[in-house]
Amino acid sequence: MFVKILMKHGQFKIFSQSRYFSNRNMLKLKDRGMFQDIFPDNAANVVTDIFNSGYQTVYAGFDPTANSLHVGNLLVLFNLLHWQRGGHKTIAVIGGGTAKIGDPSGRNTEREQLSRLSIDDNIVGVCENIETVFRNHEKYLWNEKDPLIPLRIVNNESWYSQMNAIELIAGAGRYMRMGTLMSRTSVQNRLQSQAGMSFTEFSYQLFQAYDWLHLFKTYGCSFQIGGSDQMGNIMSGHELISKACEKPVYGLTLPLITTEMGDKFGKSAGNAVWLSSDKTSSFTFYQFWMRHPDSEVEKYLKMFTFDSLGAISDLMRQHREKPELRLPQKRLAEQVTLLVHGKEGLIKAQRATRALYEGSISALGQIDAKDVSSLFGGATIVEVLPEAGQSILELAMKVGCFPTKEDAVRIICAGGFYINQQKASNPSEVININVHRLENNISLLRVGKKNYYLVKWLS
């Protein structure tokens, strides 16, 4: 069997379907811990046959409630990437319309209404995250010759802005039963809480259900994926399409990523690790993955890398022999950072790691002065003119490392002062600009364990 794919230059290329769709049964992702539930409950066997019969179209939605996605959302993007790698068509819905309504799922209070301006700003950031992840995946992590079917990104405001309220309520609304809508966990939790629920948030399910109907009619989209908090909304979409079109559709939910304490990662929980480097630097992002404990790292390698399960268990075997090398943590941090921040971001993060944790002077010399400052706890940057014969003591006093000369001499002589992470214990030693000035035109001074000062040399 063969499929025709439109290439960038406008011509068709014919692919052998069996080769192109070599791993298209997405239910196999259950072995990676990627799926929690499938809806309807008894659909697993039917769905396997559907996957084997040809490519499918799947979507996941992201409400632009912040100007960046976070690592919880990233699991959903990984899942979409697996579908793309399996030769399926993928759609990301940006909820420019639904962000104005506010999804009550997993929240115990009403969302604050977002302004038009901040939603627009957030859409730009979220689209950029998604595009970057898909671009980096194709560039660095897709090693097959066959091209991937590009992700389609749509904003649900594009159909709601063409529609009037009567059309939605009198059309789709008629298929939805109050009893079912009221029974959703997201609704029940809120009705039982003091905060209660506005009609606006109650109506959210109808919008997400209608999105799926729209995508089903427009692109033949029969699958929706989302975190397990999305199950109620996905069930509403299933109900709507089953009644309005009498066609089967399927929902798959993913487990929610939580902290070691079991709290969901996300914006509302206030512990988000963001995908945009403006909000979480590539170094902090890399370190977040490096810090995963041994008990969790295998689970995360399965979810957040494309390494085969065999390669992951080999790595875990090596880890048991030499746990101090932290090989699985390094592999995890490297692969996820490459996907989210690209090669440049990964190099930056690894360089900063060497400079900060391994005391590497050459790595330190390659980091931007501003980045060195934030890396070392926001170290004060002081501009200094190199002067012939300037001693370590004079430099330290100029930069403001010590309140008095007596303190300076005492602490330096006792071995508590460092230049570029090297102990400098002679206060009268003359600064040698060729040695003490690093490639990036800085010197990093340290008093004690963690008081850093950054000298930026003037020329």
Out of 67, 68, 73, 282, point to the residue binding ligand YSA (CB under 6 A).
73
Q: Name residues whose C-beta falls within 8 Å of residue 351's C-beta, 6 or more positions apart in sequence.
A: 363, 366, 367
Residue 354 sits in the site that holds ligand YSA (CB under 6 A) = no
Out of 67, 132, 205, 230, point to the residue binding ligand YSA (CB under 6 A).
230
Q: How far apart are CA 450 and CA 454, in angstroms?
A: 13
Out of 152, 264, 299, 330, point to the residue binding ligand YSA (CB under 6 A).
264
Q: Candidates 34-42, 71-79, 352-360, 364-372 — which segment interacts with ligand YSA by CB under 6 A?
A: 71-79
Question: Sheet holding 223-227: strands in order across?
Answer: 37-39, 250-254, 223-227, 57-62, 89-94, 152-155
- Find the shortest distance in angstroms from Cβ 258 to ligand YSA: 7
Residues in contact with ligand YSA, counted by CB under 6 A, come to a total of 26
Phi, psi angles (nearest 5°) of residue 247: -125, 145
Residue 95 sits in the site that holds ligand YSA (CB under 6 A) = yes
The continuous run of DSSP H or E covering 407 comes out as helix 405-413
Instruction: Decide: residue 370, CB within 10 A, 0-12 exposed, 13-18 middle, 19+ buried.
Output: exposed
Residue 62 sits in the site that holds ligand YSA (CB under 6 A) = yes
Nearer to ligand YSA, 256 or 447 (CB): 256
Q: How far apart are CA 367 and CA 440, in angstroms?
A: 7
Q: Spell 12-33 as b/e; 16+ CB within 10 A means b.
A: eeebeeeebbeebebbbbeebe
Give CB contacts under 8 A, 24+ apart, made by 450-455: 450/377, 451/401, 452/376, 452/377, 452/379, 453/379, 453/380, 453/382, 453/399, 453/400, 453/401, 454/369, 454/372, 454/373, 454/376, 454/379, 454/380, 454/381, 454/382, 455/382, 455/383, 455/384, 455/395, 455/399
- Find the shortest distance in angstroms from Cβ 212 to ligand YSA: 6
Nearer to ligand YSA, 66 or 290 (CB): 66
- 226 contacts 37 by C-beta, under 8 angstroms: no
Residue 257 sits in the site that holds ligand YSA (CB under 6 A) = yes
Out of 266, 328, 342, 365, point to the residue binding ligand YSA (CB under 6 A).
266
Q: Candidates 60-68, 113-121, 328-336, 417-425 — which segment interacts with ligand YSA by CB under 6 A?
A: 60-68
Residue 252 sits in the site that holds ligand YSA (CB under 6 A) = no
Nearer to ligand YSA, 189 or 360 (CB): 189
* CA angle in degrees (0–180, nearest 5) for 416-418-424: 85
Tokens read off for 433? 């600009």
Q: Candidates 54-62, 136-144, 312-320, 414-422 — which segment interacts with ligand YSA by CB under 6 A?
A: 54-62
CB atoms within 10 A of CB 442: 23
Residue 129 sits in the site that holds ligand YSA (CB under 6 A) = no
Tell me the per-residue interface mask from 173 to 212 with ligand YSA, x by CB under 6 A, - otherwise.
-----------------------------------x--x-
Out of 68, 72, 86, 301, point to the residue binding ligand YSA (CB under 6 A).
72
Q: Candidates 41-49, 250-258, 276-284, 357-365 — which segment interacts with ligand YSA by CB under 6 A?
A: 250-258
Across 372-414, the runs of DSSP E, i.e. the strands, are 380-384
Q: Candidates 140-148, 191-199, 264-272, 400-408 — which segment interacts with ligand YSA by CB under 6 A?
A: 264-272
- 33 contacts 82 by C-beta, under 8 angstroms: no
Q: How far apart are CA 376 and CA 16, in angstroms?
A: 54
Residue 61 sits in the site that holds ligand YSA (CB under 6 A) = yes
Residue 34 sits in the site that holds ligand YSA (CB under 6 A) = no
Tokens read off for 184? 């959703």
Residue 235 sits in the site that holds ligand YSA (CB under 6 A) = no
* CA angle in degrees (0–180, nearest 5) for 18-21-27: 125
Out of 26, 91, 93, 375, point to the residue binding ligand YSA (CB under 6 A).
93
Residue 251 sits in the site that holds ligand YSA (CB under 6 A) = no
Nearer to ligand YSA, 80 or 438 (CB): 80
Phi-psi region of 87 (alpha: psi -120 to 50; beta: other; left: phi over 0): left
Residue 254 sits in the site that holds ligand YSA (CB under 6 A) = yes
Residue 96 sits in the site that holds ligand YSA (CB under 6 A) = no
Nearer to ligand YSA, 21 or 300 (CB): 300
Nearer to ligand YSA, 76 or 396 (CB): 76
Residue 98 sits in the site that holds ligand YSA (CB under 6 A) = yes
Tracing tokens 């890396």 back to the chain, one arrives at: 375
Q: How far apart are CA 153 and CA 365, in angstroms?
A: 41
- Find the shortest distance in angstroms from Cβ 353 to ligand YSA: 25
Give me the residues that bind ligand YSA (CB under 6 A), please.
60-63, 72-73, 75-76, 93, 95, 98, 103, 156, 208, 211, 226-227, 229-230, 233, 254, 256-257, 264-266
